[in-house]
Structure 1
Amino acid sequence: MVLLSHPTGNANVAEVAAALHGAELLAGYYTCVHWRPEAAYARFAPASVRAMFERRARVRLPEKLVHSHPARELARNALLRAGRLDLVTGERRLFSIDAVYRDLDRHVARELGRFSGLRTVYAYEDGALDHFRAAKKLGLRRIYDLPIGYWRASRKIAEEEAERKPEWKGTLNALSDSAEKCARKDAELELADTVIAPSTFVKETLSMFPGVPKQIIVNPFGVPARIAAPRALTDRAAPLRVLYVGGLTQRKGIAYLFDAAEKLGKAITLTVIGRKAGSSAALDRCCERYRWLPSVSHEQILAEMRAHDVFVFPSLFEGLALVNGEAISQGLPVITTRNSGGSDILRDGEDSFLVPIRDADAIAARLMQLREDRELLKRMSDRALERAAELTWQSYRERTVDAVRATIMAAASA
């Protein structure tokens, strides 16, 4: 049996939980706030509170399997609502997201002994160290889900980018991680028996880990089930409608997209959706020049995808960008990089173009190609829909169960 934990329960965690429960492998799931929309507290909560926690409802499990530890996370969200960023910003703050991760980690470590028949713990980066240590003492196997590339590789790219684009340095959060936090990441990896990576790119970044090599299993995410209808051929005389969705940080290569857009002028229109990360005068100027939506609902994002012609995501460093999968599910050809994890789910030249990182010219060239050849744009859109139908979350669940069972069997044969 497997114990799963994650402080906030995102879409990927929901699929892992469903996979383990469906395979009768889940002993329990630990999280901070377990939000149930049907509960009385949810029905009578203010709209702002419901909006804050509704995404926590993605993990749907029997109540007896869910163990919540909400105090610090509730306090963090209350402080955010009150505008007290001074108490939640910075990894050493008592109510920072880092503190929330560590607090749940310690709680799970204390709880491990209460489960009989437990064989494995499954945890995520930054929230595994203490209960991995406790699990090792109890003879339990440890599965580590690494949703983004290894920190040393991230730091290297961020430092290079700070030199190449100093005006965007303020958006590079990887440079702010403390030595203590990075050492914690390494200690988690050292304790892991199996590492789950969402892309080949993430697996390759682990070559920089100085510790003992781990079993690394690549398990790409699925694509949303709601797939759009095929698109009509568009008019070559109209500008190409370009969309970006994601955090406005140079880790995602956003400056290179803005550079490409400037080269193409009126040949394209550009919409960017996402919150600003850090501070950058260059980013502020770009957001004023192009259509910028700081925050919209997921439904609105899908609607914007259907209203555009092509999706550009020039990321320098990711795990596997879920937004690329969402884009193809709405019939959008994607221009992205291998570092986004794109090569694991997209087919270069069919439903997407994979371009080198830091290459505004390559982005501009592919955009102009699609602007001039609307039949190619239509074919790639059709291929994107076909590919999206192949990338199901059910396949992701099956691979998750296979990986967990392999880890358990390895322990039995050791």
Structure 2
Amino acid sequence: MKKITIYHPFGNANTRAAVDGIYKQGILESFHTCIACFKGSFLYKLSSFGPLKEFRRRCFSSFLKDKTITHPFKEFGRQIAPKIKLNSLTAHEKGIFCVDNICYDLDHKIAKYVQKNNEKIGGVYAYEDLALQTFYTAKKYNIKCLYDLPIGYWRAMRSLLNEERTKNPEWAITLGGFNDSNKKLQRKDEELKLADKIYVASSFTKKTLEIYPGKLANIEVIPYGFPPVNTQRKYDEIQNRKIKVLFVGGLSQRKGLSYFFEAIEGLEDKIEATVVGRGNMETCPALKEALSKVNYIPSLPHDEILKLMANQDLFIFPSLFEGFGLVITEAMSQGTPVITTDRTCGPDIMHNGIDGWVVKAGETKPIRDLLVTFISNPSILIKTGQAAMHTAAQRPWSVYEKELAESVNKFLND
């Protein structure tokens, strides 16, 4: 049976699920990351102290320990540089410890690993910005190249967000996504060209690839899973109080922030809005003014965000360009219904009007109309929140693990 090498510098939720599933399928050759700790290990014990708590987030399933190879040097540098005020070391694409250099460094290390161990590797599973050198090497040895694109295609993003720049110029400075060099963008295109199989987590991400200037391999949509459902969720009486509305995410117009604020404007006597996320308010007066009118929390630990979600009546996530949107599944798992757009995972995981609402991206009126409906009939939110929990219970992360691993196995060994 052919086995696969998979790697990611940081090990986010979807990567963890992918690695666990591939291991359980019996086809994991090795997993590579920058920093990994396992329960009971020395690093795990160290991560209980102050500034080292960040490493607790790099804890992986214990059964992966013998299959995991770490490459920590540059990632340690990235963690330390801001703490000692050396931010230039992590500057976008230029700093020695920036995310781009960490990705390219890991890519080169895996390429060397594949060259050395090519006889026992049947495939490599790589993520965007991490694949080029490894794919070049894999091709030399007829090793299959599997590619995971976690966010939409860059040409589609620029096209859609350029429209938004014109439409809402006062928010344009928050958009981001336009500072990647041509070299980096060409690298993304070359990675896609080399891929033998492409995985995405939403139909929207797949759709963005339609404008790729060339022929692509088969693209398969496998939505991510939901966190554990909050079975202790209790719904307070909602009839005689303000509806509690929440947004969580980066404070960028890419997340559709202006549409969130426009939708709730003038409803302050009926709605209590909370926003959680980081952003540069000083460079965007519109953002600064909007945040002054809501409960604003710059940052919360992940477990506290889940608790906050479970204490809200409605989650609004009007993103303009999203590969998936994990906050959507998190809110639903907490029994909080979600309004989101057709440029997120919403169409793939929701039944519109039953366990949430999917509206057209870049429009305020559909969100506003729903809010007015909820103000008149708030019990809809309870019914929909309960349905959202039911949906979440049907697709835990273990389902994503199994579906992805079975697809990978079939592609490698069929």
TM-score (norm 1): 0.95
Residue pair 1:327, 1:334 contacting (<8 A) in 2 also: yes
Q: Distance in 1 between matches of 2:273 and 2:234?
A: 19
Matched, 1:205 2:208: yes
Q: Distance in 1 between matches of 2:288 and 2:244?
A: 21
Residues 49-68 of structure 1 correspond to what in structure 2 (within 5 A)? Answer: 49-68=51-70
The alpha carbon displacement at 1:226 in A equals 3.5
Q: Residue deviations 1:294-316, cap 9 Å, x none?
A: 11111111111111100000000
Matched, 1:307 2:339: no
**Structure 1 range deviating more: 337-346 or 259-268:** 259-268
The alpha carbon displacement at 1:228 in A equals 3.4
Matched, 1:329 2:333: yes
Q: Residue deviations 1:169-220, cap 9 Å, x none?
A: 2212211111111111001000001100001101111001112122001000
Q: Distance in 1 between matches of 2:256 and 2:62?
A: 35
Structure 2 residue corresponding to 1:341, chosen from 332, 340, 345: 345
The alpha carbon displacement at 1:277 in A equals 5.5
Matched, 1:188 2:191: yes
The one-letter amino acid of 1:274's match is: G
* 1:352 aligned partner: 356
The one-letter amino acid of 1:77's match is: Q
Q: Distance in 1 between matches of 2:247 and 2:130?
A: 30
Q: Distance in 1 between matches of 2:250 and 2:349?
A: 21
Structure 2 unaligned regions, length at least 5? none
Q: Distance in 2 between matches of 1:320 and 1:45?
A: 30
Residues 27-42 of structure 1 correspond to what in structure 2 (within 5 A)? Answer: 27-42=29-44
* 1:26 aligned partner: 28
The alpha carbon displacement at 1:370 in A equals 1.4
**Structure 1 range deviating more: 47-56 or 386-395:** 47-56
* 1:275 aligned partner: 278
SS at match of 2:178: helix
* 1:232 aligned partner: 235
Q: Distance in 1 between matches of 2:155 and 2:62?
A: 35
Structure 2 residue corresponding to 1:251, chosen from 230, 249, 254: 254
Identical aligned residues as a percent: 34
Residue pair 1:37, 1:54 contacting (<8 A) in 2 also: no
1:304–1:183 Cα change, 3 Å: same
Structure 1 unaligned regions, length at least 5? none
The one-letter amino acid of 1:3's match is: T
The alignment covers a number of residue pairs equal to 410
The alpha carbon displacement at 1:59 in A equals 4.9
Residues 7-406 of structure 1 correspond to what in structure 2 (within 5 A)? Answer: 7-44=9-46, 47-115=49-117, 116-229=119-232, 231-232=234-235, 234-276=237-279, 279-406=283-410
Q: Residue deviations 1:218-259, cap 9 Å, x none?
A: 000000114233543633231110011111111110111011
Residue pair 2:38, 2:65 contacting (<8 A) in 1 also: no
SS at match of 1:312: strand
The alpha carbon displacement at 1:15 in A equals 0.5
Residue pair 1:109, 1:131 contacting (<8 A) in 2 also: yes
SS at match of 1:20: helix
Residue pair 1:129, 1:187 contacting (<8 A) in 2 also: yes
Residue pair 1:198, 1:219 contacting (<8 A) in 2 also: yes
Residue pair 1:42, 1:50 contacting (<8 A) in 2 also: no
TM-score (norm 2): 0.95
**Structure 1 range deviating more: 279-288 or 151-160:** 279-288
Residue pair 1:242, 1:308 contacting (<8 A) in 2 also: yes
Q: Which runs of 4 or more aligned residues in structure 1 lie more than 4 Å from their structure 2 counterparts after TM superposition?
A: none
1:176–1:286 Cα change, 3 Å: same
Q: CA RMSD in A?
A: 1.6
